[in-house]
Amino acid sequence: MKKKIGWIIGIVVVVAGVLAYWRYGRGPATPPIQYKTAAVTKRRIVGKITASGTLSATVTVQVGTQVSGRIQSLNVDFNSAVKKGQVIAKIDPLLFQAAVQQASANYLSAKASLVRAKAQALDADRQYARLKTLKDQGLASQQDLETGETNASVAKASIDVAQAALAQSAASLNQAQTNLSYTTIVSPIDGTVISRNVDVGQTVASSLQAPVLFTIAEDLKKMQVNTNIAEGDVGRLQSGMDSWFTVDAFPGQRFRGKISQIRNAAQTVQNVVTYDAVIDVDNADLKLRPGMTANATITYAEKDDALAVPNAAMRFKAPVELTGGASASASGARTGRPRGSAAPGGSGRPAFGDAIDTRTIWVLRGDQPVSIQVQLGLSDGTNTEVVKGELAEGDQVIIDATVTGAKASAAPAGGGGGGGMGGGGGSPLRRL
């Protein structure tokens, strides 16, 4: 009896094991996947480029000195309003006045030398004339006549030398007077002093480069922002485009401007080639100051009622295929490939050609995810316009997926890596 009971228990254990193995084998080959979706909508998309720059006056002049000396007086200070021709500083003129006096004395000496040379020439001509008369009367020799002729020629040449010396001394006098005039520093424009780099008593030396004494802005009511635009964005810009920017001094306040020019001179900032886009700004209230850092936003395109998908849908990457499950095509069928995908072993060329703005996104149709190729247009950084593709307003695009169940670690889902760009349009995700 006990032996019979043991056999029965053994049979029950075997049957239970078989049933458990059978149920485990018939269980899901892939864990269920939960999808996070977003609706395709029509919205206004504004294409923008952001860049940082520095505010400056439209015209800024650095005022220096062409002569060396000690600063005798300063007539303006920071933020002083000045007029063109106004005296703003004075360099001690004593040395330059002495140079003018010396040059003037040299000029007078050269002038007197010219008068003497002319008198000597006149005397030499008269002596030569007397010798000619005496020679005709036989009272002078030929040698005396030739000597008189030579002396007359030398006297005439002395006049030319004296005239050259007079011109040279006149030039030296003019230079000394010019240097003296340079001791008076005047404003070259109407404007505002935004920088003063010297003090009274300071000695400035003008040698190879003129020292800068003042920086004057012509009109602070008209300013500009010099922005650094990366070479990848500069092709979207052109003169006349609207722009706005903010400064840290006035948080939350926007200032308007327009692009006046895009300069061709390239600059390399942190190994990135950039170009200077100049934005003209109206500063009638004088809130903005030179040197402020501006964070500019330039609008290069706008489109209303654009069919748009979230950028997260283009960054979504399909989870690793799990075993089992049925497939669906782009048209919703249970078999086949999505339209626009590459044939097995093919070149993988997108359905719309080789356009660099063609992407693959995943759409949840019914209970099945389907991969679709779309051609993209304008983007605002959050949403992107769909120019071409089998999408309609209200479609649910997949932006994330979570694999649930005990084997979830074996099949990571969605997110990161690669963004689905150029994803060949293979078979859709498998889901139980």
Residues shown for the chain: 432
Residue 145 burial class via C-beta count within 10 angstroms: exposed 0-12, middle 13-18, buried 19 and up: middle
**270 and 392 inside one domain:** no
Which of 303, 321, 355 finishes a domain? 303
**82 and 98 inside one domain:** no
Please state the φ and ψ torsions of residue 264, each to the nearest 5 degrees. -85, -15
pLDDT given for residue 364 in this prediction: 87
| CATH code at position 67 | 2.40.50.100
In a domain, 114, yes or no: yes
C-alpha distances in Å from residue 86, one per residue of 30, 74, 80: 87, 12, 12
**63 and 203 inside one domain:** yes
Inter-axis angle of helices 142-181 and 94-136, to 10 degrees? 170
Q: In what order do the strands lie in the sheet with 60-64?
A: 60-64, 212-217, 191-196, 81-82
Domain count, the chain: 4
Digit-by-digit pLDDT tens for the chain (432 residues) are: 556 666 667 676 666 666 666 565 555 544 577 888 999 999 999 989 999 999 999 999 999 999 999 999 999 999 999 999 999 999 999 999 999 999 999 999 999 999 999 999 999 999 889 888 888 888 888 888 888 889 889 999 999 999 999 999 999 999 999 999 999 999 999 999 999 999 999 999 887 677 899 999 998 999 999 999 999 899 999 999 999 999 999 998 999 999 999 999 999 988 889 999 999 999 999 999 999 999 999 988 889 989 999 999 988 887 664 333 433 333 333 333 333 333 333 333 333 333 457 888 999 887 788 889 999 988 888 899 999 888 888 889 988 888 765 444 433 444 443 333 333 333 334 332
Beta bridge partners of 376: 386
**100 and 168 inside one domain:** yes
Q: Cα dihedral sign for 401, 402, 408, 413?
A: positive
**289 and 314 inside one domain:** no
Nearest alpha-carbon partner for 385 in 394, 375, 395: 375
**240 and 167 inside one domain:** no
C-alpha distances in Å from residue 154, one per residue of 115, 116, 121, 135, 158: 15, 13, 8, 21, 6
In a domain, 417, yes or no: no
In a domain, 244, yes or no: yes
**211 and 67 inside one domain:** yes
**137 and 255 inside one domain:** no
**197 and 79 inside one domain:** yes
Looking at residue 396, its amino acid is: Q
CA distance linking residue 317 with residue 312, whole number of Å: 10
**311 and 406 inside one domain:** yes
In a domain, 432, yes or no: no
CA distance linking residue 61 with residue 77, whole number of Å: 15
Give every CB contact of residue 57 below 8 A, 6+ residues apart in sequence: 191, 194, 217, 218, 219, 220, 222, 223, 224, 290
CA distance linking residue 392 with residue 168, whole number of Å: 90
CA distance linking residue 110 with residue 105, whole number of Å: 9
In a domain, 430, yes or no: no
pLDDT given for residue 407 in this prediction: 46
- Is the overall model pTM greater than 0.85, yes or no? no
In a domain, 427, yes or no: no
**38 and 106 inside one domain:** no
pLDDT given for residue 370 in this prediction: 87
Which of 182, 200, 230 finishes a domain? 182
CA distance linking residue 237 with residue 276, whole number of Å: 11
CA distance linking residue 278 with residue 238, whole number of Å: 11
Domain that holds residue 71: 59-86+188-218
Residue with structure tokens 């005496």? 134
Please compute Rg for the chain using Cα positions. Answer: 46
Q: Cα dihedral sign for 283, 284, 287, 289?
A: positive
Please report, for the chain, how many H helices and E strands are present, in that order: 5, 19
pLDDT given for residue 180 in this prediction: 95
Q: In what order do the strands lie in the sheet with 184-186?
A: 184-186, 87-91, 69-74, 203-204
pLDDT given for residue 93 in this prediction: 95
Q: Are 374 and 388 in contact (CB under 8 A)?
A: yes
CA distance linking residue 153 with residue 243, whole number of Å: 80
**74 and 202 inside one domain:** yes
| CATH code at position 237 | 2.40.30.170
CA distance linking residue 263 with residue 275, whole number of Å: 6
Nearest alpha-carbon partner for 48 in 301, 305, 308: 301
Q: Are 420 and 315 in contact (CB under 8 A)?
A: yes
